[in-house]
């Protein structure tokens, strides 16, 4: 029987690492807060911070108050929530599948959620609260289907991504078919396909928040199990962990997070791919700090990109998905160029 290697980390080094993690997470929380405040203040019509605070505290009906409460507050919350959910989902998927190229956008999770959301809107257009649940079910179905195809054909990292691309095309065609037969199923269909936050209401966000907040908290509570699962199925089973059911649990969590985000933000790409890689360089590979940092960093990044999309050509706006594609596309190509033999170097 082979003995497992045990790495002893000095207590002083553990304390130093924990201190650095807390500092990094604190800075990311500050970045998310600052980005959120700027998102409330800036736009085609700038609103001073004092008026923003007054609009949030008092029920006035001035033009500035209406802009802040009914347009910018839901949009800012949507950016923070969707960014946190997609980035945390990406960190979970990459850990579970041990695949740095995996993300909700690249393995069909977002597209499956989008198809389920479109079907729900077409079948029950008044059931706003049911859309996040339907999107979660679609995202989980997409993840499991891609995983099954990849395992059947040889579960290499590129095989998984290629299977995800193929199934994403099928799911997106399904969305197109739904909108063709029921044009009113998705309001702002172009923004939904690209990914956008304009027109989001608090009524859409509250049901999604009911999935996102518990999903992130549960994932954080299971960070030790995710660390073990990231070692690979054989190593996890050797350490007494039931890899297959636990993998399904984490995929369900990732699907809940991605599906909830898709239900109000559309098919945003690259957030779940880019942010976890950025956060690994900041906090390392340990799942607990990585998940927390990804959630905060994802919220700050998406909210910041949405603000940028409003300001670049003001008073005209770009869907935030276009900005994310300009950032994420080159990043994904860079990851592919660094890959050799199924491994990411560096």
Contact 67, 310 (CB under 8 A): no
For residue 307, the Cα-to-chain-centroid distance in whole angstroms is 18
- pLDDT at residue 225, as a whole number: 86
**Does some domain include residue 8?**
no
- pLDDT at residue 346, as a whole number: 39
Cα 336–Cα 340–Cα 341 angle in degrees, nearest 5: 120
CA distance linking residue 297 with residue 305, whole number of Å: 12
**Does some domain include residue 1?**
no
Sign of the torsion angle spanned by Cα atoms 161, 164, 166, 169: negative
- pLDDT at residue 201, as a whole number: 87
**Does some domain include residue 9?**
no
CA distance linking residue 197 with residue 205, whole number of Å: 11
CA distance linking residue 221 with residue 286, whole number of Å: 13
Tokens linked to 259: 């599906």
pTM: 0.86
Query: Exposed/middle/buried for 16, CB within 10 Å: 0-12, 13-18, 19+?
Result: exposed
Q: How far is CA 286 from CA 118, 231, 300, in A?
A: 36, 12, 21
Sign of the torsion angle spanned by Cα atoms 199, 83, 166, 147: negative
**Does some domain include residue 271?**
yes
CA distance linking residue 320 with residue 128, whole number of Å: 23
- pLDDT at residue 41, as a whole number: 93
CA distance linking residue 254 with residue 264, whole number of Å: 16
- pLDDT at residue 152, as a whole number: 74
CA distance linking residue 29 with residue 259, whole number of Å: 24
Which segments of the chain are extended strands (E)? Answer: 339-340, 343-344
**Beta-bridge mates of residue 322:** none
CA distance linking residue 319 with residue 337, whole number of Å: 28
**Does some domain include residue 240?**
yes
Contact 117, 111 (CB under 8 A): no
Residue with tokens 């029921």: 182
**Number of other residues whose CB lies within 10 A of the CB of residue 180:** 9
CATH number at 299 reads 1.10.3470.10
**Does some domain include residue 113?**
yes
Closest Cα partner for 195 from 101, 292, 281, 271?
271
- pLDDT at residue 297, as a whole number: 95
Contact 292, 25 (CB under 8 A): yes
**Does some domain include residue 177?**
yes
What would the 3-class secondary structure string for 118-178 be? HHHHHHCCCCCCHHHHHHHHHHHHHHHHHHHHHHHHCCCHHHHHHHHHHHHHHHHHHHHHH
Q: Splitting the chain (346 residues) into consecutive groups of 10 residues, what average pLDDT does each group show? A: 38 56 91 95 88 84 86 94 95 86 86 90 81 88 81 67 85 90 76 83 89 94 86 69 79 90 88 91 90 96 93 85 87 73 44
- pLDDT at residue 16, as a whole number: 55
Q: How far is CA 205 from CA 33, 131, 262, 266, 321, in A?
A: 18, 11, 11, 13, 18
Residue range(s) defining the domain that contains residue 229: 17-344
In this structure, the strands spanning 343-344 and 339-340 are antiparallel
The number of folded domains in the chain is 1
**Does some domain include residue 5?**
no
């Amino acid at each position: 029987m082979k003995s497992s290697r045990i790495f002893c980390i000095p207590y002083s080094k553990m304390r130093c690492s924990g201190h650095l993690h807390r500092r990094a997470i604190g800075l990311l929380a500050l970045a998310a807060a600052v980005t959120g405040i700027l998102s409330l203040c800036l736009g085609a019509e700038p609103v001073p911070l004092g008026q923003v605070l007054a609009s949030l505290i008092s029920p006035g009906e001035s033009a500035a108050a209406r802009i802040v409460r009914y347009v910018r507050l839901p949009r800012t919350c949507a950016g923070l929530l969707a960014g946190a959910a997609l980035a945390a989902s990406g960190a979970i998927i990459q850990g579970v599948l041990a695949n740095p190229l995996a993300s909700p956008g690249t393995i069909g999770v977002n597209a499956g959620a989008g198809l389920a959301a479109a079907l729900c809107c077409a079948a029950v257009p008044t059931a706003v609260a049911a859309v996040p649940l339907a999107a979660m079910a679609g995202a989980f179905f997409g993840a499991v289907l891609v995983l099954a195809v990849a395992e059947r054909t040889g579960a290499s990292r590129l095989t998984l991504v290629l299977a995800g691309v193929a199934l994403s095309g099928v799911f997106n065609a399904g969305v197109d078919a739904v909108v063709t037969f029921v044009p009113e199923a998705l309001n702002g269909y172009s923004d939904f396909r690209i990914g956008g936050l304009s027109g989001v209401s608090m009524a859409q966000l509250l049901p999604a928040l009911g999935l996102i907040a518990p999903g992130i908290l549960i994932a954080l509570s299971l960070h030790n199990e995710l660390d073990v699962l990231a070692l690979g199925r054989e190593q996890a089973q050797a350490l007494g962990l039931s890899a297959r059911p636990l993998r399904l649990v984490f995929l369900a969590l990732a699907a809940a997070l991605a599906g909830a985000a898709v239900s109000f933000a559309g098919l945003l790409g690259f957030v779940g791919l880019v942010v976890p890689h950025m956060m690994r360089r900041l906090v390392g590979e340990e799942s607990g700090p990585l998940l927390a940092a990804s959630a905060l960093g994802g919220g700050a990044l998406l909210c910041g990109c949405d603000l940028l999309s409003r300001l670049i050509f003001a008073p005209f706006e770009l869907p935030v998905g276009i900005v994310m594609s300009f950032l994420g596309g080159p990043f994904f190509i860079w990851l592919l160029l660094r890959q050799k033999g199924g491994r990411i170097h560096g």
